[in-house]
Copies of this chain bind each other. A is one copy, B any other.
Amino acid sequence: MYRKEIKVTDCTIRDGGLINKWQFSDELVRRVFLAVNESGVDYMEIGYRASKKMFDPKEYGPWRFSTDEKIREIIQDTPLKVKLGVMVDIGRVESEDIAQCSESPLDVIRVATYLKDIDKAIALANECDAKGYETFINIMAISSVSDADLAIGLKQVDAETNVTAVNIVDSFGALYSESVHHLVKIYQENLSKREVGMHAHNNQQLGFANTIEAIRKGANYLDATISGIGRGAGNCPLELLLGFLKNPKFNLEPVLEALEDTFLNLRKEIEWGYLIPYMITGILNEHPRTAIALRQSERKDKYVEFYREMTTPECICE
């Protein structure tokens, strides 16, 4: 699949940090940065930008905040091929946390939002745009919104922002190919000036497959992480995506090197990827939080018990 418009965003540290509260060593983050920078990947979302008033730096690692200063410590004097970005959540970041783009090592700020908060997301994206950043909006939990509400929200983003792309975010890992096709179509019909992006989750081993399906229907902005690292079942693996995309600008080898020298060990320390409890929440179109809690308990492999709990309503009401 070679289409020159396709852009890939690596979210390894940002999404991977959801597992361990962003407590990665500087060495690991620099390792990922160097691999991504050499791989021809277009964007690297290095972490969340959040206010230190809202999250305790004793509990959360540096990539919950991703300060400009910390980012500069990672880049050092490496020539930048990749554009650097952070993700912001509505209500968890303040104006003072975001400098003018010209004074920051960042190029990009991406706003994560639920559809119901789209007005706040638009305001935050526009604030970042006014400071000179390229902006994006990720609409989370897309498998639980109505087509009609989604169309209204997308039209608003299209008319009221300068975002480059709006991402489909399959937070629950519940989408199948036909639902991906359907969502890309709704996005395209309601976005005249914005590209469509895809952020897939791997609860049903469909993270990569659903990313391909989005590409086939015209999505050009694609999220992936090395080894598919990410909360719960994780994401579309970057190595698979680069293996599929035939654009000669991409180079798989730096990613394979990082897999070999860094991610094999990381996998011994923290858990992510396809596991039955995540499959169950994916099939049921539920947030993975119950499955994550199960995996952190002594019952972590009690699949049948968990499945029964998830499929037996406490009461059946009218």
B208 near A206 (CB under 8 angstroms)?
yes
B205 near A237 (CB under 8 angstroms)?
yes
Known: A205-B209, A207-B205, A256-B276. A176 touches B244 (CB 8 A): yes
Chain B CB within 8 A of A293 CB: no
Give residues 34-62 of A contacting B (CB, 8 Å): none
A304–B256 alpha-carbon span in the complex (Å): 6
A253–B176 alpha-carbon span in the complex (Å): 22
B304 near A253 (CB under 8 angstroms)?
yes
A253 near B307 (CB under 8 angstroms)?
yes
State how many angstroms separate the Cβ of A216 from the closest Cβ of chain B.
7
Chain B CB within 8 A of A301 CB: yes
A252 near B307 (CB under 8 angstroms)?
yes
Known: A216-B178, A256-B276. A240 touches B204 (CB 8 A): yes
A276 near B239 (CB under 8 angstroms)?
yes
A204–B176 alpha-carbon span in the complex (Å): 17
Interface 1/0 per residue, A169-206 and B, CB below 8 Å: 00000001110000000000000000000000010111
Give residues 48-83 of A contacting B (CB, 8 Å): none
Known: A178-B216, A276-B259, A279-B239. A205 touches B204 (CB 8 A): no
Chain B CB within 8 A of A97 CB: no
Chain B CB within 8 A of A149 CB: no
Interface size on A, residues (CB 8 A): 35
B256 near A303 (CB under 8 angstroms)?
yes
A177 near B176 (CB under 8 angstroms)?
no
Question: Could you say which residues of chain B place their CB within 8 Å of the CB of A207?
Answer: 205
Question: Could you say which residues of chain B place their CB within 8 Å of the CB of A208?
Answer: 204-206, 209
B301 near A264 (CB under 8 angstroms)?
yes
Tell me which of B177, B240, B253, B259 contacts A212 (CB under 8 A): B177
B177 near A243 (CB under 8 angstroms)?
no
Give residues 275-317 of A contacting B (CB, 8 Å): 276, 279, 283, 301-304, 307-308
Interface 1/0 per residue, A221-264 and B, CB below 8 Å: 00000000000000001011001100000001100110110001
Known: A259-B276, A279-B239. A177 touches B307 (CB 8 A): no
A294–B207 alpha-carbon span in the complex (Å): 27
A212–B279 alpha-carbon span in the complex (Å): 16
Tell me which of B177, B202, B240, B303 contacts A279 (CB under 8 A): B240
A242–B208 alpha-carbon span in the complex (Å): 20
**Residues in chain A within 8 A of chain B (CB atoms):** 176-178, 202, 204-210, 212-213, 216, 237, 239-240, 243-244, 252-253, 256-257, 259-260, 264, 276, 279, 283, 301-304, 307-308
A-B contact pairs, 16 of them (CB 8 A): A177-B177, A177-B209, A177-B212, A177-B216, A204-B208, A205-B237, A208-B209, A240-B279, A243-B279, A253-B307, A257-B303, A259-B276, A259-B303, A260-B302, A260-B303, A264-B301
- The 9 A-B pairs with the shortest beta carbon distances in the complex, nearest first, are A209-B209, A243-B283, A256-B303, A260-B303, A256-B304, A205-B208, A205-B205, A257-B304, A206-B209
